Amino acid sequence: MSSRKGFFDLRLHGGRAPQWLVSRMVRLGGAIVEAIVMEFGTLELLKRVSDPLWFQGFSNVLGYDWDSSGSTTVTAGVLKTVLSSRDLGVYACGGKGAVSRRTPSEIESIVNSRSVDADPGRLAYLSRICAKVDNSLIQAGYQLYHHVFIFDKQGNWAVVQQGMNTGLKWARRYHWLSEGLASLVEEPHSGIIGVSKHENVLNLTARESRENRQASLDIVKEPPQRLRRCLRTVGEASSETILKWIPGAMEPPAYRVVLERNVNWRALSEAYELKPGSYEELLSIRGVGPGTLRALSLVAQIVFDAPPSWRDPVKFSFSFGGKDGVPYPVNRRRMDRVIGMLEDALSRAKMGEKDKLHAVRNLKALAERLDAAASVSESVR
């Protein structure tokens, strides 16, 4: 699969998906996921899940609204249900709200019970650092509330997580993939999906922010009192706003003055003692969050002439309709028919047909019928 990257903003929708739809989503989703693993292996499934366009298309095929925040939470929940009920060698942990906080214990339980060739502590660390990167290094006003960590027996992994901006009533989905990942803090995403592009997003994951990150790392190796003095000097000079330091600043919500009270001085004292050797190590220190990193970034820009990136990295996609009737009501009969066709194709493949290609042709024919019978819409912005 070619690499496609982007942001996808989704409207915050309340309520629950109806059970009649969820039950069909599980059956249809299970057939699709099992077909992918059977034909291409577990790593390919992780690659597809980490592709924001594929994930969005998968959600749309299952009948979810194209622009709903539930396309992430419900689809990820369906995926977790499917993977926990079928022995495919791929596992999903986490979920929405409080469930996401159980991710480390779920990882440990699965690794120990399913003979996964990976260190559960390392996987739990990766889960936590991915969440921290998207909460702290890309400051566009989105707070994570959903996190799913997916991995296979070989230790390959993917992350699908979502943040919400309650003021704008939008959600934003972040995707990660272990394959080809060179850094957890610089351009680490396989995709971050959205329709709207914000101005003046503090993007500390950008390559252009490399010097800013290094300067921030140097700052924490100095006594915290020096940073405090720098912040006071900058605060006085900026008249309670840092907008004057941002090129073409027009969007104030996320970029108010960096106040001393927004900095976790205890965490910075710990960083001073630890002398982290990398920005990732700094980020992993408990208590180092958005406010502290924003303060370090500001001082790195003003004092050390190492500006960060302010660009919002952003792209972007119906088969059976959507639960809210967008773009049209779910066609239950068509959905049931397609589920039956997929399950029949998989059943024949499992029974060991003479010509395995026959089963593949069944799936190909199904895809062609889907294209002909469904209204498929993909748009890139």
Q: Give the pLDDT confidence score for residue 309 in this predicted structure.
A: 95
357 HSE (CA, 13 A, CB side): 0
Higher model confidence: residue 193 or residue 83?
Answer: 83
CA distance 128 to 123: 9
Residues 81, 23 contacting (CB under 8 angstroms): no
**Band of the pLDDT at 250, cuts 50, 70, 90?**
very low
User: Same structural domain for residues 268 and 122?
Assistant: no
CA distance 81 to 73: 12
Both tokens of residue 377? 């819409």
User: Same structural domain for residues 38 and 78?
Assistant: yes
Both tokens of residue 20? 């009649």
User: Same structural domain for residues 215 and 106?
Assistant: no
User: Same structural domain for residues 144 and 283?
Assistant: no
User: Same structural domain for residues 153 and 273?
Assistant: no
**Angle of CA points 346, 351, 357, to nearest 5°:** 65
Both tokens of residue 379? 């748009």
**Band of the pLDDT at 134, cuts 50, 70, 90?**
very high
246 assigned to some structural domain: yes
340 assigned to some structural domain: no
Sign of CA dihedral 116, 127, 12, 55: negative
User: Same structural domain for residues 70 and 112?
Assistant: yes
User: Same structural domain for residues 242 and 134?
Assistant: no
User: Same structural domain for residues 257 and 278?
Assistant: yes
Q: Alpha helix locations (H) across 252-331? A: 265-274, 279-284, 290-304
User: Same structural domain for residues 136 and 228?
Assistant: no
Q: Find the domain containing 187 and state its range.
A: 9-198
Residues 125, 147 contacting (CB under 8 angstroms): no
CA distance 161 to 73: 9
Q: Is the pLDDT of residue 317 over 60?
A: no
**What's the structural domain count of the chain?**
2
| CB atoms near residue 160 (< 10 Å) | 25
What mean pLDDT is predicted for residues 204-226?
Answer: 95
What are the Cα distances from residue 344, in Å, to 124, 350, 351, 359, 366?
A: 38, 10, 11, 9, 11
**Band of the pLDDT at 189, cuts 50, 70, 90?**
very high
272 assigned to some structural domain: yes
Domain endpoint, select from 198, 225, 260? 198
Please tell me whether residue 144 adopts helix, strand or coil conformation.
strand
The mean of the pLDDT values for the chain is 79
Sign of CA dihedral 45, 195, 249, 288: negative
Residue 307: phi and psi, rounded to 5, are: -70, 145
pLDDT in tens, 231-240: 777 655 554 4
Q: Specify the range with the lowest mean pLDDT, choosing from 114-128, 173-187, 191-205, 260-274.
A: 191-205
Q: Is the peptide bond before 313 cis (omega within 30 degrees of 0)?
A: no
Q: Give the pLDDT confidence score for residue 195 in this predicted structure.
A: 60
Sign of CA dihedral 60, 66, 68, 69: positive
Q: Give the pLDDT confidence score for residue 352 in this predicted structure.
A: 59
Domain endpoint, select from 198, 227, 252? 198
Q: Is the pLDDT of residue 292 over 90?
A: yes
**Band of the pLDDT at 194, cuts 50, 70, 90?**
low
Residues 221, 285 contacting (CB under 8 angstroms): no
Residues 307, 202 contacting (CB under 8 angstroms): no
Both tokens of residue 138? 């890309």
**Band of the pLDDT at 4, cuts 50, 70, 90?**
very low
CA distance 375 to 35: 23
91 assigned to some structural domain: yes
Q: Is the pLDDT of residue 107 over 80?
A: yes
User: Same structural domain for residues 107 and 233?
Assistant: no
Q: Specify the range with the lowest mean pLDDT, choosing from 289-293, 295-299, 357-361.
A: 357-361
User: Same structural domain for residues 146 and 213?
Assistant: no
pLDDT in tens, 335-372: 676 566 566 656 665 665 545 555 555 555 655 555 55
Question: What is the value of pTM for the model shown?
Answer: 0.77
